[in-house]
């Protein structure tokens, strides 16, 4: 075992450090700031998905979801807003207005936090629930198409809204270029 450790140490000492030597001067602060954002997941989009709601009482519902929104890039970060409609069973139909703040993990994957105001029967001003959560979005094999998954918890309610414990949505987004 000792011979293996000595051999590994010798190999490490005599191996060239080519990976650290990229050649050329380091990037300036101006070059870093003006570099293009790495993510392809920017701009306005329409989306379709399947939403699930898991109530504290043990009830579970599934609805279709249609929506749209826009993201504005700020280097690797982005801020966005969206609107959604949930269609299905009468007691879980409704709409939401939301905001997202996130960053690009790499050119094809975004991670974000979200805040949604949801209301039953599309009555956003009469009653509703505030949801806080997060999501992940990744490009798929077609230009402009991405898949997303989100999860959120109801943290507050107003009016006659019921307080759901957890809501999820998975779906596809089509980005306008």
* pLDDT tens per residue across span 113-153: 999 988 877 666 667 888 999 999 998 988 889 999 999 98
- The tally of CA atoms less than 13 A away on the side-chain side of residue 139 is 15
pLDDT of residue 40: 55
Which is higher by pLDDT, 14 or 3? 3
Q: Which two tokens stand for residue 28?
A: 């300036």
Architecture of 43-175 per CATH? Beta Barrel (2.40)
Q: Would the pLDDT of 159 be above 70?
A: no
What is the separation of C-alpha 147 from the centre of its chain, rounded to a whole number of angstroms? 10
Q: Where are the domains of the chain?
A: 43-175
pLDDT of residue 148: 95
The rounded distance, in Å, linking the Cα atoms of 173 and 66 is 10
The rounded distance, in Å, linking the Cα atoms of 95 and 119 is 6
Q: Which two tokens stand for residue 107?
A: 């050119």
The phi and psi torsions of 66 (rounded to 5 degrees) equal -130, 140
Cα–Cα distances in angstroms (integers) from residue 23 to residues 13, 20, 35, 45, in the given order: 21, 9, 19, 40
Is the model's pTM score more than 0.85?
no
pLDDT in tens, 32-87: 656 655 555 678 999 999 988 777 667 777 889 999 999 988 888 999 999 999 88
The helix (run of H) or strand (run of E) holding residue 11 is helix 2-14
The helix (run of H) or strand (run of E) holding residue 120 is strand 109-120
| Average pLDDT rounded to a whole number, residues 143-168 | 81
Q: Would the pLDDT of 20 be above 60?
A: no
pLDDT of residue 114: 96
């Amino acid at each position: 075992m000792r011979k293996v450790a000595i051999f590994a140490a010798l190999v490490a000492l005599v191996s060239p450090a080519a990976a650290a030597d990229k050649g050329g001067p380091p990037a300036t602060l101006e070059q870093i700031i003006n570099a293009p954002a790495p993510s392809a997941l920017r701009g306005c989009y329409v989306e379709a998905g399947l939403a699930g709601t898991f109530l504290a009482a043990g009830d579970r519902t599934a609805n279709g979801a249609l929506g749209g929104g826009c993201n504005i890039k700020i280097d690797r970060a982005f801020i966005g807003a969206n609107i959604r409609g949930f269609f299905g069973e009468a007691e879980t139909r409704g709409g939401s207005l939301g905001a997202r703040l996130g960053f690009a993990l790499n050119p094809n994957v975004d991670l974000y936090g979200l805040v949604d105001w949801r209301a039953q029967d599309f009555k956003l001003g009469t009653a509703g629930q505030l949801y806080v959560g997060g999501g992940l979005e990744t490009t798929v094999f077609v230009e402009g198409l991405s898949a997303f998954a989100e999860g959120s918890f109801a943290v507050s309610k107003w009016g006659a809204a019921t307080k759901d414990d957890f809501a999820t949505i998975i779906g596809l987004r089509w980005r306008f270029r």
